[in-house]
Amino acid sequence: MRKILAALLFCLTTPAAAQSEHVTAVEGFELDRYLGKWYEIARLDHRFERGMSHVTAEYSMRDDGKVRVLNSGYKTKKGEWDDAEGKARFAGAEYLGHLEVSFFWIFYGDYIIFELDPEYRYAWISGADIDYLWFLSRTPTVSDDLRAQFIERASTLGYDTSELIFVDQKNPPR
């Protein structure tokens, strides 16, 4: 029940156009290249990932043409792994990095990719407002320079970077 409520809180935001007040979705987005496993490098805190380390997101195609989203992470206080499965669809044109993600029934939230490495090695994602922000990478760690670029860009866009959580990806528990 707790997972459902957390997912519902995330999805209650109303999907916006290809941009929000703070970010614009990347153009030239290729879903096939985006599919696969991503490691969460940083995020702003929110209820549905609170206290989690070793967070990953895995994207794959579903039979109905939507994207399967599998988020996994380790609940450090409980000492257990947890995951949530959802679905995503394009919010508009398929060449824009703007998806809508749902973990609960018909409620969707914005997933706006506003920075994407040309080789799809990292992505910076926002919700419709400055309350949601993620830094994903194909690898569990990134360079200090890339981290600094993310912080600078997020700060410039109005995000409270002092609240960023840098996710522990070292030595995953078994």
What's the pTM value of the predicted model, to 2 decimals? Answer: 0.87
Token digits for 157? 């866009």
CATH superfamily for 2-166 is: Calycin beta-barrel core domain (2.40.128.20)
102, 22 contact by CB (below 8 A): no
Q: Domain ranges in the chain? A: 2-166
- Is residue 16 over pLDDT 60? no
75, 97 contact by CB (below 8 A): no
**Higher-scoring residue by pLDDT: 174, 37:** 37
Q: What is the pLDDT of residues 105-155, one digit of tens each?
A: 888 999 999 999 999 999 999 999 999 999 999 999 999 999 999 999 999
Which class for 68: exposed (0-12), middle (13-18), buried (19 or more C-beta within 10 A)? middle
114, 153 contact by CB (below 8 A): no
What span, in angstroms and rounded, lies between the C-alpha atoms of 56 and 74? Answer: 10
Number of H helices, E strands in the chain: 3, 9
- Is residue 66 over pLDDT 70? yes
Which class for 17: exposed (0-12), middle (13-18), buried (19 or more C-beta within 10 A)? middle
What span, in angstroms and rounded, lies between the C-alpha atoms of 70 and 62? Answer: 12
State the amino acid at position 35 in one-letter form: L
